[in-house]
Amino acid sequence: MSKSIRVDEDTHAALAALKGDDETFDDLLSRLVRERRESIREGAGLWEGTDAAEKARSMRTEMKKGVGEQ
Protein backbone atom coordinates (compact mmCIF):
# COMPACT_ATOMS: atom_id res chain seq x y z
CA MET A 1 0.00 0.00 0.00
CA SER A 2 1.43 3.40 -0.90
CA LYS A 3 0.92 6.72 0.84
CA SER A 4 1.14 10.26 -0.44
CA ILE A 5 3.11 12.89 1.41
CA ARG A 6 2.61 16.57 0.64
CA VAL A 7 5.71 18.76 0.68
CA ASP A 8 6.21 22.34 -0.38
CA GLU A 9 8.22 23.30 -3.44
CA ASP A 10 11.41 24.05 -1.48
CA THR A 11 11.30 20.71 0.29
CA HIS A 12 10.71 18.88 -2.97
CA ALA A 13 13.64 20.68 -4.58
CA ALA A 14 15.91 19.85 -1.63
CA LEU A 15 14.91 16.18 -1.78
CA ALA A 16 15.35 16.09 -5.55
CA ALA A 17 18.88 17.46 -5.13
CA LEU A 18 19.69 14.64 -2.69
CA LYS A 19 18.13 11.94 -4.85
CA GLY A 20 20.46 9.82 -6.93
CA ASP A 21 19.80 9.41 -10.65
CA ASP A 22 18.81 5.77 -10.15
CA GLU A 23 16.75 6.39 -6.98
CA THR A 24 13.05 6.86 -6.58
CA PHE A 25 11.84 9.27 -3.90
CA ASP A 26 10.88 6.20 -1.86
CA ASP A 27 14.44 4.89 -2.20
CA LEU A 28 15.79 8.29 -1.15
CA LEU A 29 13.59 8.54 1.94
CA SER A 30 14.42 4.97 2.95
CA ARG A 31 18.14 5.72 2.56
CA LEU A 32 17.90 8.90 4.61
CA VAL A 33 16.05 7.09 7.41
CA ARG A 34 18.59 4.25 7.36
CA GLU A 35 21.54 6.69 7.45
CA ARG A 36 19.96 8.61 10.33
CA ARG A 37 19.45 5.40 12.32
CA GLU A 38 23.05 4.35 11.68
CA SER A 39 24.29 7.76 12.77
CA ILE A 40 22.33 7.52 16.02
CA ARG A 41 23.67 4.01 16.69
CA GLU A 42 27.25 5.16 16.07
CA GLY A 43 26.83 7.90 18.67
CA ALA A 44 25.19 5.68 21.29
CA GLY A 45 27.45 5.23 24.29
CA LEU A 46 29.90 7.84 23.03
CA TRP A 47 30.13 9.48 26.46
CA GLU A 48 30.19 6.20 28.40
CA GLY A 49 33.00 6.13 30.91
CA THR A 50 33.49 9.92 30.82
CA ASP A 51 32.09 12.82 32.78
CA ALA A 52 30.90 14.52 29.58
CA ALA A 53 27.20 13.87 30.28
CA GLU A 54 27.45 15.47 33.72
CA LYS A 55 29.34 18.44 32.27
CA ALA A 56 26.65 18.86 29.60
CA ARG A 57 23.88 18.77 32.24
CA SER A 58 25.75 21.29 34.36
CA MET A 59 26.28 23.61 31.40
CA ARG A 60 22.60 23.34 30.45
CA THR A 61 21.58 24.24 34.01
CA GLU A 62 23.89 27.26 33.96
CA MET A 63 22.55 28.39 30.59
CA LYS A 64 18.94 28.13 31.81
CA LYS A 65 19.59 30.29 34.90
CA GLY A 66 17.91 33.62 34.53
CA VAL A 67 16.04 32.68 31.34
CA GLY A 68 12.60 34.19 31.51
CA GLU A 69 13.43 36.36 34.52
CA GLN A 70 12.93 39.99 33.64
Q: Is 1 contained in some domain? A: no
Give me the long-range contacts of 1-5 (CB less than 8 A, separation at least 24): none
pTM listed for this prediction: 0.61
Q: How confident is the model at residue 43, as a pLDDT? A: 83
Q: Is 28 contained in some domain? A: yes
Q: Is 41 contained in some domain? A: yes
Number of folded domains that form the chain: 1
pLDDT higher than threshold 70 for residue 10: yes
Return the C-alpha torsion angle 36, 39, 45, 49, nearest 10: -140
Q: Is 3 contained in some domain? A: no
pLDDT higher than threshold 80 for residue 58: yes
Q: Render pLDDT for 13-39 as a digit per residue (tens, 0 to 9).
A: 999 999 999 999 999 999 999 999 999
pLDDT higher than threshold 80 for residue 6: yes
Q: Provide the domain limits for residue 38.
A: 9-64
Q: Is 69 contained in some domain? A: no
Q: At 66, is the pLDDT very low, low, confident or very high (cuts 50, 70, 90)?
A: confident
Rounded to an integer, what distance in angstroms lies between the CA atom of residue 26 and that of residue 63?
A: 41
